[in-house]
């Protein structure tokens, strides 16, 4: 007989029919069904094939602990694998397919693996695929060779390649009390907290709130538990300080009571409302967390325990009461504790025949025996199930005598006809979240399970989570956890059974007995691992992969530990347990990312950006900035464009957008004094209206950044930094002022975005300015090198400083950012009669290489001022940041990498990042003496040149060495020269 | 992890940047004691337990905060402005 739907009963809505497909075949179900319950209702008992051996598998559990029934959901082109059929609600049009089978679920070629199962034991990868010691497949090469074949044969569902069309969103929430789990204890806690006025969030992973109240036959407050729960849920739903989150799995518990949860918003809907996301990711910050996460029933480990129609007793109860499903006609029960007797009663009342209750214990409680008698079942104590028979369904079970003291099986096997076997191996509190929060689990002899510690920080437990299996006590704990004592605990009628199990986890007999169903780990695998020397739990776990599947061993951890402890001759607490880690339940990557995919970095654009775009600029991204690379003319290559830009600038004039330079206002009575401390050179002597080039070191004496700083007033300085280091310099200065020298009266303001800047360079740049600047003269007298003047350009107020990066006579013109484009256009107009061009970063870079100016490529965090020949900037008159550390052993001496110029001797281009070597060896490059930091074609020299940091570089000027760049296959002779390639005396910029 | 900025209130740790151990004493600016400088730049206690730290509220008020944080539990035990804890030194 197959599983079927009972004529009545269950919390499903039988008035409506839902159609969905499984492996292409259409099935029907009702609102409230999961894929698991709907397929069981249709007589399906085979749900998938197992991971390694491709054994037929059915439903073991009814909820988030289900290890076997994983399906793939198809949504358009997208496919989502490894979804538990027990957690997946059906809706019209839902398409699911089974996994890990070929060509079909019923006929699976991979099942042949069972014949080869000797090869597939623990650690089979390592053993089977170690190649020979010598030869083409030596060592791990054989494994590499086999790997792609194995990867295809093994594994669970396959992820699709199509983009996921779904939308996900993120939510941040705050509450005083977060209750995890909506069973009776959780509901009681939420009610108590809400009545205290707390902001409460109640998260329940299932669609239906109420937890075990939905499938227990208990009575609370003189009504069926499910009615009581429905009443509390209705009250809480209309309470303004309570947020109810059904279909929400709390999967992570992080520092400071930060909780991660995943809400399945529309997975159960055929047509979501407009704007509804598929899933919503919650980050909840809770004052207190109430863990009312219940307990998982454990299976027993015995040969044939993985056959379809072998099910957890509590799962059968849940299917019967919540979904109106009869998992079989003739039901046998195998247990080590009393809770299965309650299951027997429930199943019998639902319409099943209980053929036998097999109990490993010699004595059972009078209460349990009374129930057994009422069900009419044959009671077989001191007995154990030692095998199961059937193919894709169960036909019968074999029962033998069992000695609970020795664990020995004896006597002839008796065959009992049954189409369903319900198993109970005791209960494990779901302490995963507490474990994530850092709690150390404590083994309870009585409950034969790990319990959460009594004292915890941030959370409080209630109900079965605590190992409290009496309903009345669970309600009381819920009340206390919610912070109440005023409300009386409602009156309760329950089965009054003590679930404390006998310490039996495994029946050792001939045949494959599964511990971890999802990863196909057997009891023998655990013992094999022990024999091979894997004695710690952590090693056992990794070697056998026990508990490492998508279910994280929810049904297998304790049995695996017990078998390991037995093999070691130790007690379970001595063996210890592994710590649970997030996620408690699988989380879609889409929900974690939500709207954050694709290019999500902000863009920084200068005020003149649109002009650059309109005038043919192509762009570089420099950090977040977009900067013009070249302003190419039609048909020009990048090199042709920058060569033209450089030549025109050096012969006439050029203009570049320098708005991206970092700009910091340093103000206050101690500003000059502060700058003297942070720069290697002196600023307190700088007159108002002048600028000075400055160099900053880090505390360890290496170079941090360089730039010019302008004294705008006695207490006002405008500091410029390199584009890339603006943030780093700001942070450095803030740290010094805030932490080290809080007594200094200095304020820092980032003004990078407030100023637009244009650099005009070239022999005719002064004429360009003279043509457009009013309110000030710009002659050499009024505006000498490093001088500052104020004026106007076409009505826009400007500040002009005469300074040069290109080595030409040059000026930087600044206006408020709002006037940027206006200023730029006015300067462009003024420059037209003088042949001025706009130039980009390529030209700027080329001109600075020709001048030997350093930038971020050379200031790489490893160089000293002396390495860059900037010794002249190191004041000897005052201490400054880094001054005591810059001359340490190792930072001085002849063998340091020093800045040099490099000239190509084969007339071929050079590459930044290439090595410099004394001896060229293409096959086996060796003995680098340094590396190229920048390279370009120099229009002024007509040569390919570059800058490099070379060991003892200064003493090598004139040496012929080689560039060695194996990655780009560029090798060739070069000459080391001075880094001042062009106009070394600086006549042009002072002209 | 949540840090209670004395200026902005409780904020997520992602708004803050770690700026090194808080127990270090920078030698006086004019000090020529090389070993004291070496100690300031390189020596770290790296406590497993309650640990003095400097954090900057870089995504907020930009104050530097002196924090005592347990590096084992990530529990933040105290937060004060870093400038309140420094010895006041007058500019020379
Ligand atoms: Zn703040």
**pLDDT greater than 80 at residue A129:** no
Rounded distance from Cα A738 to ligand 1 centre (Å) = 13
Beta bridge partners of A301: A506
Q: What is the mean pLDDT of chain A?
A: 93
Averaged over A556-580, what is the pLDDT? 90
Which residue in B26, B92, B88 sits closest to A884, CA to CA?
B26
Question: Which residues have beta carbons under 5 A from ligand 1 (an ion)?
Answer: B 5, 7-8, 57, 60-61
CB contact under 8 A, B64 and A734: yes
**Alpha-carbon separation of residue A568 from A173, A314, A451, A529 (angstroms):** 47, 32, 23, 11
Question: pLDDT-based confidence at B91, cuts 50/70/90?
Answer: very low
Q: Establish if B29 belongs to a structural domain.
A: no
Nearest CA of chain A to the CA of B78: how many Å? 14
**pLDDT greater than 50 at residue A65:** yes
**pLDDT greater than 50 at residue B92:** no
Residues A197-231 pLDDT 10s: 999 999 999 999 999 999 999 999 999 999 999 99
Establish if B58 touches chain A: CB-CB under 8 angstroms. yes
Which residue in A867, A768, A783, A913 sits closest to A827, CA to CA?
A768
Least CB–CB distance from B19: residue in A735, A742, A885: A735
Helix axes A537-544, A523-531, angle to 10 degrees: 120
Count of structural domains, chain B: 1
Beta bridge partners of A915: A931, A964
Q: How far apart are CA A944 and CA A321, in angstroms?
A: 83
Q: What is the dihedral of CA A723, A717, A772, A812, to 10 degrees?
A: -30
Length of chain A in terms of residues written: 991
Question: Which segment of A3-12, A30-39, A899-908 scores lowest on mean pLDDT?
Answer: A3-12
Mutate to test the interface with A, among B64, B66, B72, B85 (most CBs of A within 10 A): B64
Chain B residues within 8 A of A255 when measuring between CB atoms:
1, 73-75
Rounded distance from Cα B7 to ligand 1 centre (Å) = 5
Rounded distance from Cα A942 to ligand 1 centre (Å) = 55
Helices (H) and strands (E) in chain B, counts: 1, 6
Q: Establish if B28 belongs to a structural domain.
A: no
Q: Establish if B54 belongs to a structural domain.
A: yes
Averaged over A808-812, what is the pLDDT? 96
Question: pLDDT-based confidence at A156, cuts 50/70/90?
Answer: confident
Q: How far apart are CA A685 and CA A695, in angstroms?
A: 16
pTM exceeding the 0.90 threshold for the entire prediction: no
CB contact under 8 A, A735 and B64: yes
**pLDDT greater than 50 at residue A477:** yes
Q: What percent of chain A lies above the pLDDT cut of 90?
A: 83
Least CB–CB distance from A699: residue in B41, B64, B88: B41
Q: How far apart are CA A36 and CA A90, in angstroms?
A: 9
Rounded distance from Cα B12 to ligand 1 centre (Å) = 11
CATH number at residue B79: 3.30.2270.10
Block residue for tokens 């090194």: B20
Domains of chain A: 609-660+754-861 (3.30.1360.120), 662-750 (3.30.70.1400), 893-990 (2.40.30.110)
Chain A residues within 8 A of B30 when measuring between CB atoms:
879
Query: What pLDDT is attached to residue A109?
Result: 64
Averaged over A391-417, what is the pLDDT? 95
Query: What pLDDT is attached to residue B39?
Result: 96
Residues B63-81 pLDDT 10s: 999 999 999 888 899 999 9
Rounded distance from Cα B75 to ligand 1 centre (Å) = 18
Rounded distance from Cα B39 to ligand 1 centre (Å) = 30
- Domain residues for the domain of B50 are 2-21+35-89
Block residue for tokens 């000090």: B31
Range list of β-strands (E), A829-955:
837-838, 897-904, 915-917, 928-938, 943-951
Please report the DSSP string for A291-340 in residue order: E---EEEPPPB-BTTTSTTEEEHHHHHHHHHHH-EE--SEEEEEESSTHH
Residues A571-581 pLDDT 10s: 998 888 878 88
Mutate to test the interface with B, among A174, A742, A879 (most CBs of B within 10 A): A742
Question: pLDDT-based confidence at B89, cuts 50/70/90?
Answer: very low
- End-to-end distance of chain B based on CA atoms, in angstroms? 41
Beta bridge partners of A492: A220
Chain B residues within 8 A of A740 when measuring between CB atoms:
26, 86
Beta bridge partners of B12: B2
Q: How far apart are CA A358 and CA A372, in angstroms?
A: 11
Minimal-distance CA residue of chain B relative to A732: B19
Query: What pLDDT is attached to residue A111?
Result: 65
**pLDDT greater than 80 at residue A703:** yes
- Give the pair of three-digit tokens for residue A815: 């206006």
Q: Establish if B44 belongs to a structural domain.
A: yes
Length of chain B in terms of residues written: 92
Chain B residues within 8 A of A285 when measuring between CB atoms:
2
**pLDDT greater than 80 at residue A953:** yes
Query: What pLDDT is attached to residue B88?
Result: 43
More confident residue, A248 or A75: A248
CB contact under 8 A, A285 and B2: yes
**pLDDT greater than 70 at residue A273:** yes
Averaged over A46-55, what is the pLDDT? 87
Block residue for tokens 């080689």: A962
Query: What pLDDT is attached to residue B90?
Result: 40
> CB under 8 Å to A942, separation ≥6 — which residues?
none
Query: What pLDDT is attached to residue A455?
Result: 77
Residue A386 · residue A401 · CB < 8 Å: no
Nearest CA of chain B to the CA of A684: how many Å? 14
Q: What percent of chain A lies above the pLDDT cut of 70?
A: 94
Interface contacts (A, B; CB < 8 Å): 68
**pLDDT greater than 60 at residue A131:** no
**pLDDT greater than 60 at residue A661:** yes
Q: Establish if B68 belongs to a structural domain.
A: yes
**pLDDT greater than 90 at residue A114:** no
Beta bridge partners of A976: A902
Chain B residues within 8 A of A744 when measuring between CB atoms:
91
Residue A383 · residue A400 · CB < 8 Å: yes
Averaged over A282-297, what is the pLDDT? 97
Minimal-distance CA residue of chain B relative to A877: B30
Least CB–CB distance from A256: residue in B1, B58, B63: B1
Query: What pLDDT is attached to residue A623?
Result: 87
Question: Which segment of A65-69, A135-139, A168-172, A590-594 scores lowest on mean pLDDT?
Answer: A135-139
ipTM: 0.94
Within 10-39 of B, beta carbons closer than 8 Å to A belong to: 17, 19, 26-27, 29-32, 34, 37-38
Residue A289 · residue A457 · CB < 8 Å: no
Nearest CA of chain A to the CA of B56: how many Å? 8
Chain A residues within 8 A of B35 when measuring between CB atoms:
none
Question: pLDDT-based confidence at A487, cuts 50/70/90?
Answer: low
Minimal-distance CA residue of chain A relative to B80: A739
Q: Establish if B6 belongs to a structural domain.
A: yes
Residue A583 CB-half CA count within 13 A: 15
CB contact under 8 A, A738 and B88: no
Rounded distance from Cα B79 to ligand 1 centre (Å) = 11
- Phi and psi torsions of A877, nearest 5°: -90, -15
Mutate to test the interface with A, among B83, B87, B90 (most CBs of A within 10 A): B83
Beta bridge partners of A414: A399
Q: Establish if B30 belongs to a structural domain.
A: no
Nearest CA of chain A to the CA of B48: how many Å? 16
More confident residue, A51 or B58: B58
Minimal-distance CA residue of chain B relative to A742: B83
Q: How far apart are CA A37 and CA A12, in angstroms?
A: 10
Query: What pLDDT is attached to residue A115?
Result: 60
Q: How far apart are CA A437 and CA A117, in angstroms?
A: 39
More confident residue, A533 or A666: A666
Query: What pLDDT is attached to residue A119?
Result: 57
Q: How deeply is A925 buried, as exposed, middle or buried, from its count of CB atoms within 10 A (0-12, 13-18, 19+)?
A: middle
Least CB–CB distance from A670: residue in B73, B82, B91: B91
**pLDDT greater than 80 at residue A868:** yes
CB contact under 8 A, B63 and A738: yes
Please report the DSSP string for A450-496 in residue order: EE--S--SSEEE-GGGGT---HHHHHHHHHHHTT--SSPPPPEE---
Query: What pLDDT is attached to residue A105?
Result: 73
């Amino acid at each position: 007989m197959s599983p079927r739907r009972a004529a009545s009963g269950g919390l499903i809505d039988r008035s409506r029919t839902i159609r969905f497909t499984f492996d292409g075949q259409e099935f029907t179900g009702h609102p409230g069904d999961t894929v698991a319950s709907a397929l069981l209702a249709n007589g399906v008992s085979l749900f998938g094939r197992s991971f390694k051996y491709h054994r037929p598998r059915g439903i073991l559990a009814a909820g988030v602990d289900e290890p076997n029934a994983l399906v793939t959901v198809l949504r358009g082109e997208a496919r989502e694998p490894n979804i538990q059929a027990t957690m997946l609600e059906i809706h019209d049009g839902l398409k699911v397919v089974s996994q890990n089978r070929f060509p079909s679920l019923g006929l699976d070629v991979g099942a042949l693996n069972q014949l080869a199962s000797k090869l597939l034991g623990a650690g089979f990868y390592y053993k089977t695929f170690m190649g020979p010691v010598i030869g083409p497949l030596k060592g791990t090469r054989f494994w590499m060779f086999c790997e792609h074949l194995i990867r295809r044969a093994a594994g669970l569902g396959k992820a699709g390649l199509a983009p996921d069309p779904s939308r996900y969103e993120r939510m941040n929430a705050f509450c005083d009390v977060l209750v995890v789990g909506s069973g009776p204890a959780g509901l009681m806690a939420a009610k108590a907290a809400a009545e205290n006025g707390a902001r409460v969030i109640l998260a329940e992973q299932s669609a239906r709130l109420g937890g075990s109240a939905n499938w227990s036959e208990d009575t609370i407050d003189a009504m069926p538990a499910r009615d009581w729960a429905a009443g509390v849920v209705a009250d809480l739903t209309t309470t303004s300080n309570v947020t109810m989150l059904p279909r929400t799995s709390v999967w992570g518990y992080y520092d400071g009571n930060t909780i991660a949860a995943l809400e399945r918003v529309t997975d159960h809907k055929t047509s979501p409302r407009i704007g509804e996301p598929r899933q919503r990711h919650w980050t909840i910050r809770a004052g207190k967390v109430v863990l009312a996460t219940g307990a998982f029933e454990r299976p027993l480990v015995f040969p044939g325990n993985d056959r379809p129609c072998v099910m957890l007793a509590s799962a059968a109860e849940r299917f019967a009461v919540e979904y109106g499903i009869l998992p079989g006609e003739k039901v046998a029960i195998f247990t080590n504790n009393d809770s299965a007797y309650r299951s027997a009663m429930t199943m019998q009342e639902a319409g099943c025949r209980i053929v036998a209750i097999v109990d490993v214990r010699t004595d059972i409680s009078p209460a349990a025996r009374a129930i057994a008698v009422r069900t009419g079942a044959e009671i077989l104590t001191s007995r154990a199930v030692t095998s199961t028979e059937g193919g894709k369904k169960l036909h019968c079970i074999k029962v033998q005598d069992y000695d609970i003291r020795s664990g020995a099986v004896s006597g002839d096997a008796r065959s009992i006809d049954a189409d369903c076997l319900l198993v109970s191996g005791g209960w494990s509190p779901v302490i995963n979240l507490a474990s994530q929060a850092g709690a150390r689990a404590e083994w309870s002899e009585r409950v034969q399970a790990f319990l959460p510690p009594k004292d915890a920080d941030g959370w409080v437990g209630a109900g079965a989570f605590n190992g409290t299996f009496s309903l009345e006590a669970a309600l009381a704990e819920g009340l206390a956890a919610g912070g109440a004592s005023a409300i009386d605990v409602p009156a309760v009628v329950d089965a009054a059974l003590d679930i404390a199990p006998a310490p039996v986890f495994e029946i050792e007999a001939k045949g494959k007995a599964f511990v971890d169903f999802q990863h196909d780990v057997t009891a023998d695998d655990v013992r094999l691992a022990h024999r091979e020397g894997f004695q710690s739990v952590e090693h056992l776990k990794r070697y056998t992969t026990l508990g490492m599947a998508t279910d994280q061993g929810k049904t297998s951890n304790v049995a695996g530990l017990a078998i390991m402890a037995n093999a070691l001759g130790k007690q379970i607490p001595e063996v210890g347990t592994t710590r649970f880690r997030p996620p408690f339940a699988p989380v879609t990557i889409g929900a974690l990312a939500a709207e954050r995919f694709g290019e999500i970095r902000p863009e920084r654009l200068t005020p003149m950006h649109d002009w650059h775009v309109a005038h043919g600029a192509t762009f570089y991204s420099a950090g977040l900035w977009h900067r013009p690379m070249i302003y190419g003319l039609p048909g020009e290559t990048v090199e042709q464009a920058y060569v033209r830009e450089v030549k025109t600038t050096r012969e006439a004039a050029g203009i570049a957008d320098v708005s991206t330079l970092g700009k910091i206002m340093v103000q206050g009575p101690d500003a000059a004094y502060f700058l003297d401390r942070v720069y290697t050179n002196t600023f307190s002597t700088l007159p108002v209206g002048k600028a000075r080039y400055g160099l900053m070191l880090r505390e360890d004496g290496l170079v941090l950044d360089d730039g010019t700083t302008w004294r705008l007033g006695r207490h006002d300085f405008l500091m410029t930094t390199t584009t890339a280091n603006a943030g780093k310099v700001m942070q450095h200065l803030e740290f010094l002022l805030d932490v080290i020298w809080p007594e200094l009266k200095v304020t820092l303001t980032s003004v990078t975005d407030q100023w637009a800047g244009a650099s005009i360079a070239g022999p005719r740049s002064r004429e360009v300015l003279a043509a457009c600047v009013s309110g000030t003269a710009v002659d050499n007298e009024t505006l000498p090198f490093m001088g500052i003047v104020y004026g106007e350009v076409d009505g826009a107020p400007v500040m002009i400083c005469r300074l040069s990066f290109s080595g030409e006579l040059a000026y930087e013109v600044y206006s408020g950012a709002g006037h940027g484009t206006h200023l730029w256009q006015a300067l462009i107009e003024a420059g037209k009669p003088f042949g001025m061009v706009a130039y980009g970063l390529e030209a700027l870079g080329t001109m600075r290489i020709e001048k030997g100016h350093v930038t971020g490529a050379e200031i790489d965090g490893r160089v000293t001022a002396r390495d860059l020949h900037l010794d002249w900037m190191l004041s000897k008159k005052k201490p400054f940041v880094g001054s005591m550390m810059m001359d340490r052993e190792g930072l001085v001496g002849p063998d340091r990498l020093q800045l040099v110029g490099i000239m190509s001797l084969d007339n071929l281009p050079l590459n930044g990042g290439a090595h410099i070597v004394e001896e060229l060896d293409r096959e086996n490059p060796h003995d680098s003496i340094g590396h190229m930091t920048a390279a370009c074609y120099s229009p002024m020299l007509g040569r390919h040149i570059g800058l490099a940091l070379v060991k003892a570089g200064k003493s090598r000027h004139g040496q012929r060495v080689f560039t060695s760049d194996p990655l780009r296959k560029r090798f060739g002779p070069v000459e080391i020269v001075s880094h001042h390639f062009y106009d070394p005396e600086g006549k042009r910029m002072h002209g | 992890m949540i840090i209670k900025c004395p200026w902005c209130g409780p904020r997520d740790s992602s708004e803050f940047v770690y700026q090194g151990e808080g127990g270090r004493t920078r030698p006086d600016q004019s000090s020529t004691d090389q070993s004291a400088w070496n100690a300031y730049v390189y020596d770290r206690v790296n406590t497993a337990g309650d640990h003095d730290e400097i954090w900057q509220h870089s995504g907020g008020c930009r104050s530097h905060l002196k924090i005592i944080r347990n590096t084992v539990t990530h529990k933040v035990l105290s937060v004060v402005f870093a400038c309140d804890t420094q010895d006041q030194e007058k500019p020379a």
